[in-house]
Amino acid sequence: MGRIAILSQTVSDQIAAGEVVERPASVVKELVENALDAGATSVSVELEDGGRELILVADDGEGMDREDALLAAERHATSKVRMATDLIGVPTYGFRGEALASIAAVSRFELETAKPNSDTGVRVEIRGGRREAAIDAPRTRGTTVTVRKLFANTPARRKFLRSARSETRASVEAVTLLALTRLDVAFTLRSDGRKLLDAPRVASAAERLAALYGRKLVDQLLPVDHHDGYLSVRGFVQRPADARASGRRAHFFVNGRPFRDPFLVRAAEAGYRATIAPGARPSVFLSIELPGDRVDVNVHPSKHEVRFRDKMIVERAVTEAVRRALQPLAAAAVVEQGGVAIGPHGPTGPGIPTHDAVRTGQAVEGQLISGSLFGDDGSRQQAVGEPQELVQVFQTYIVFATHDGLVIVDQHSAHERILYEQAMRELQGTAAAGQRLLLPLTLDLQADELEAVERHNDLLSRVGFEVEPFGGRSVVVHAVPNPHPRFDARRCLEELIADLAGSRFGGLSNRLERFAATYGCRAAVKAGHILERSEMRELLRRLFACELPPHDVHGRPTIVQLPKRELERRFGRV
């Protein structure tokens, strides 16, 4: 007998199934996508035992007639592509025509479907890839696909499944991502009888995000809306101050489809530079729109990944989009008016949109290929109002009223942000001239400190410290910066040098940023400094002239708002 045999159809189907059907979540994803392609307005998913026992997806889409139902689970049966050239820019989720065949090859598969306005539908049953029955079934429009005993006939694959809980979680994730792309469709998911996901049809992305992730996360999001050349980046990013080290969600969509790309996650994080604590991982939901010929969505069998024609441009746009979302939209106007930017939907400091901006800013119908999930944001902020009376409280905060509420600025954080940005400019561009001292300072340093001064002396001099070795472990300081009148140059320099020598400064990826942040922190006015009115005014003016006023370099807010409406609510006026 020869050694070569042609694989039976069943075996080759099972092998091919491995490509599309890795685990229950991939089945869920394919079936839900089919439902969306069929124009469903409501999709419900049921799981048992993480999908091993049962995966059921029911929709109210256009259904299939008997002939199509019989064809649907045949390999390469698809109603969506007639020619290979169609593959460019196919406006549907599925188009390979192999999902149903693959799933049917590795399960007990049942498809029940009916066209609209027909009182009978058809039920097709397939076991291990072989059709067993096709009988009339009474039902109304739509399709229900039932997948039982997934991988029962492929034990090797079944062995790779994880716990029911983590398989369930993966399915929830798959439906969640699709739910983010289609606001006009209602989604539910039940697992062993428990409802894990319930997303009714909504008009705004913020409402959908709230249904999927909870109101708390939505309240922490800032809208993103950036256009650059042929592409646009829209969506939401988490406020830097709310970013935590764990539990983040980072989701990207291109032309309405979810995809994964670790480089884009990093590009988004780059947009947060110097606004979040090291190790903080902000949540981001970003939808990229570009012409179909600039992206290939067919590189991955289950379409998890895409290939951009120009990756660099996309990455840069994502970074820029995030950076701008964190930036006050009206900083320039604010400076001119000496006022504070207040959003139309409640007072939000410059660049600190509250949840209102997110909640009311979005009124977009979900569309199939849209990324319209993240529609135009109507919450552009306008600079209005002018702080009348500035008050310093607890020798730490500057408080003032605008016509929409109270604004509270942390003087230290604010000054830190100002000095950080100034130092970055000085480190990269024109060095600051320090103020020459009539009586130079002498510092006695530890050996590692002396070494740190030598290593970083170029940076010290750029921000205005002129430091010279003076024999032994002493250095003499001829000039110092003068960031504010009560600046204690000796103390600042000592602290700065100690930081530079300490482990905190070690192993940094970006020496300039770290230095600027350290300098900003050490040189800034402290809590406890009494400020003159003119100083407060100057501090605010310079804060709002910053690129990123609302955040200090550790990711804490510099500005806190107390909306007038909140006061009215608390006093029972509304």
Between residues 101 and 224, which has the closer beta carbon with respect to ligand ADP?
101
What is the C-alpha to C-alpha distance for residues 244 and 242, in angstroms, rounded to an integer?
A: 6
Contact 540, 525 (CB under 8 A): no
Surface-to-core class of residue 501, CB atoms within 10 Å of its CB (0-12 exposed, 13-18 middle, 19+ buried): buried
Query: What residues numbered 24-83 form the site for Mg ion, per CB under 5 A?
Result: 34
What is the C-alpha to C-alpha distance for residues 314 and 138, in angstroms, rounded to an integer?
A: 50
What is the C-alpha to C-alpha distance for residues 181 and 383, in angstroms, rounded to an integer?
A: 33
* Dihedral sign (CA 265, 270, 276, 277): positive
**Token pair belonging to 181:** 């792309």
Indicate which of Mg ion, ligand ADP, none lies near residue 64 (CB less than 5 to 8 Å, by partner kind): ligand ADP
Residue 328: count other Cβ atoms within 10 Å of its Cβ. Answer: 28
Contacting residue, 98, 225, 289, 449, with ligand ADP by CB under 6 A: 98
Contact 363, 375 (CB under 8 A): yes
Contacting residue, 52, 96, 108, 417, with ligand ADP by CB under 6 A: 96
Closest to 407 in 3D by CA, of 358, 330, 352, 336:
352
Indicate which of ligand ADP, Mg ion, none lies near residue 61 (CB less than 5 to 8 Å, by partner kind): ligand ADP
What is the C-alpha to C-alpha distance for residues 552 and 550, in angstroms, rounded to an integer?
A: 7
Contact 34, 45 (CB under 8 A): no
Indicate which of Mg ion, ligand ADP, none lies near residue 29 (CB less than 5 to 8 Å, by partner kind): none
Contact 223, 361 (CB under 8 A): yes
Contact between 298 and ligand ADP by CB under 6 A: the answer reads no
Between residues 63 and 483, which has the closer beta carbon with respect to ligand ADP?
63
Distance of closest approach, residue 122 Cβ to ligand ADP, in angstroms: 12
Contact 510, 494 (CB under 8 A): no
Q: Provide the residue type at 398 as one letter.
A: I
Query: What residues numbered 18-77 form the site for ligand ADP, per CB under 6 A?
Result: 30, 34-35, 38, 59, 61-64, 72, 77
Interface pattern 127-166 for ligand ADP (x via CB under 6 A): ----------------x-----------------------
What is the C-alpha to C-alpha distance for residues 512 and 423, in angstroms, rounded to an integer?
A: 9
What is the C-alpha to C-alpha distance for residues 459 and 453, in angstroms, rounded to an integer?
A: 9
Residue whose Cβ sits closest to Mg ion: 94
Query: What residues numbered 282-301 form the site for Mg ion, per CB under 5 A?
Result: none
Distance of closest approach, residue 110 Cβ to ligand ADP, in angstroms: 13
Indicate which of ligand ADP, Mg ion, none lies near residue 143 (CB less than 5 to 8 Å, by partner kind): ligand ADP
Between residues 5 and 84, which has the closer beta carbon with respect to ligand ADP?
84
Long-range contacts formed by 71-78: CB under 8 A, 24+ apart: 72/100, 72/111, 72/124, 73/100, 73/101, 73/104, 73/109, 73/111, 73/124, 73/126, 73/131, 74/101, 75/13, 75/16, 75/101, 76/101, 77/101
Distance of closest approach, residue 106 Cβ to ligand ADP, in angstroms: 13
Interface pattern 93-112 for Mg ion (x via CB under 5 A): -x----x-------------
Between residues 58 and 358, which has the closer beta carbon with respect to Mg ion?
58
What is the distance, to the nearest Å, from the Cα of residue 405 to the centroid of all Cα atoms in its chain?
Answer: 29
Between residues 146 and 283, which has the closer beta carbon with respect to ligand ADP?
146
Between residues 104 and 335, which has the closer beta carbon with respect to ligand ADP?
104
Between residues 87 and 332, which has the closer beta carbon with respect to ligand ADP?
87
Between residues 33 and 167, which has the closer beta carbon with respect to ligand ADP?
33
Between residues 64 and 209, which has the closer beta carbon with respect to ligand ADP?
64
Contact between 343 and ligand ADP by CB under 6 A: the answer reads no
Site size toward ligand ADP (CB under 6 A) is 23
Between residues 45 and 501, which has the closer beta carbon with respect to Mg ion?
45
Contact between 449 and ligand ADP by CB under 6 A: the answer reads no
Contact between 427 and ligand ADP by CB under 6 A: the answer reads no
What is the C-alpha to C-alpha distance for residues 253 and 286, in angstroms, rounded to an integer?
A: 6
Contact between 187 and ligand ADP by CB under 6 A: the answer reads no
Contact between 493 and ligand ADP by CB under 6 A: the answer reads no
**Who's near 84: CB < 8 A, 6+ residues apart?**
none
Contact 238, 355 (CB under 8 A): no
What is the C-alpha to C-alpha distance for residues 111 and 390, in angstroms, rounded to an integer?
A: 70
> From the DSSP assignment, how many helices (H) and strands (E) are in the chain?
18, 24
Indicate which of Mg ion, ligand ADP, none lies near residue 59 (CB less than 5 to 8 Å, by partner kind): ligand ADP
Contact 256, 288 (CB under 8 A): no
Distance of closest approach, residue 73 Cβ to ligand ADP, in angstroms: 7
Enumerate binding residues for ligand ADP (CB under 6 A). 30, 34-35, 38, 59, 61-64, 72, 77-80, 94-101, 143
Enumerate binding residues for Mg ion (CB under 5 A). 34, 94, 99
